[in-house]
Structure formats: structure tokens, C-alpha cells
Amino acid sequence: MVTIKGHEFKEIKVRDSYNRRALQYKNKIITLLKNFGLTEDNIDIPLEGNTLKKAQAQVSWYLWDHHMFYSYNNSDKYVENIAMVAQVIEHFIYLLSEGQITQEEFIQEFKEDDDIIQQRKHAREVLGVEENELDFDKMHKSYKELSKAHHPDMPHGNTQKFQEINRAHKILKKEMNAM
């Protein structure tokens, strides 16, 4: 079991038909979001070419005047990551439909700033990692080194730089689902 956003989910392990299953999970997400009246034009789910590769699965959509986003990158294969994305979205849509969460709570779970892609790019620059880096451990290690070096209590500390490093880490931590 995996805990995501305070809820327990069964970790999905895909053993065959990886590309076909990844496409099925993508279509499942689209079908789930269509229940809100969205069209495929309102939903973006980049499908990884090599579904066996460790790669982040993500979906973004516009709903109720908000940019929504969810990604998962803790499984060993892209196909398993997209399966988890589908499972999480399905769960929260179920909670919303059953009245267990409000529309506002649903929005808060998935809402992102409109310029989030640029924020993530800048966060990676601040931490000194590659623009397409997806290894959270590597980003976290860089964060620890930089925050220690720039901590206000250190001889050459810089409060402004320290705060920028912390913001960058928080943005990437949320993206990588490492909360």
C-alpha cells in the first residue's frame, strides 16, 4: 500500500502488455475527467514512448477556472506511474461524487498555478540540477547542500537565497509527490 494525499492506495504492478496498458490508463483518466464535461482538448496526458522506462506520469486539465495537475513518479515503470495517477484521480472523483469532499477540497488537491511549468524549470535551475531531472533524491541532495551553505546562521549565509532554495525544493517536492 502507498499513502498519497493522506489516502491509502494499492500499488499497481504491471507485468505485461505495457504499452497497451499505459494507453488504457490514459483513456481511463480521460473518461473520468469527461464526467466533468471536459473534452480531450482540455486534458493533457503525455504518453511516454517507452512505458517500461522509469518516467514520471502526469496529467493536467482545466476545470472550474483552475489549472489542475497531478503527477506520480515513485514506481519503477512509467506504466505503473500512470496507473497510480488514474487510481488517485478516480478515488478523488469518487469522494467528490459521494459528497465526502467538497468541490473546493477537490480543487485544493489538484490546483496548480498557471505558470507551474516555468516555476518548476526555475526551481531546477535554483537547485542546480538538469532541466529534465526527475530523480527526487538527487534534487533533495542538492537542496540540502545549498540550504546548508546559504543558511542565515552560516558565516556567508543569505536569507533571500535560502528562502529561494526552500521555495524551489517545495515546488519540486510537490511535483515529485514526495510529500
Residues of the chain with CATH 1.10.287: 116-175
> According to the model, what pLDDT value does residue 178 have?
43
> According to the model, what pLDDT value does residue 114 have?
66
Residues of the chain with CATH 3.30.160: 2-112
64-120 residue pLDDT tens: 888 898 888 888 899 999 999 999 999 999 999 999 999 999 998 898 776 777 888
Strand partners, 8: 3
Q: Which three cell numbers stand for residue 167?
A: 521555495
User: In CATH, what class is 116-175?
Assistant: mainly alpha
> According to the model, what pLDDT value does residue 177 have?
60
> According to the model, what pLDDT value does residue 174 have?
76
State how far the Cα of 161 lies from the Cα of 149, in Å rounded to an integer. 10
In three state form, how does the secondary structure of 75-99 look?
CCCHHHHHHHHHHHHHHHHHHHHCC
| Mean pLDDT confidence for 9-24 | 92
Chain-centre distance of CA 5, in angstroms?
11
Above pLDDT 90, what percent of the chain?
A: 45
Average pLDDT, the chain: 89
**Whole-structure pTM value:** 0.70
Q: Which CATH number fits domain 2-112: 3.30.160, 3.40.390, 1.10.3470, 1.10.600?
A: 3.30.160
Mind giving me the DSSP string for the chain? -EEETTEEEPPP---S-HHHHHHHHHHHHHHHHHTTT--GGGEE-PPPS-TTS---EEEEEEETTEEEEEEE--SSSHHHHHHHHHHHHHHHHHHHHTTSS-HHHHHHHHEE-TTHHHHHHHHHHHHT--TT---HHHHHHHHHHHHHHH-TTSTT--HHHHHHHHHHHHHHHHHTT--
147-178 residue pLDDT tens: 999 999 988 888 999 999 998 998 888 777 64
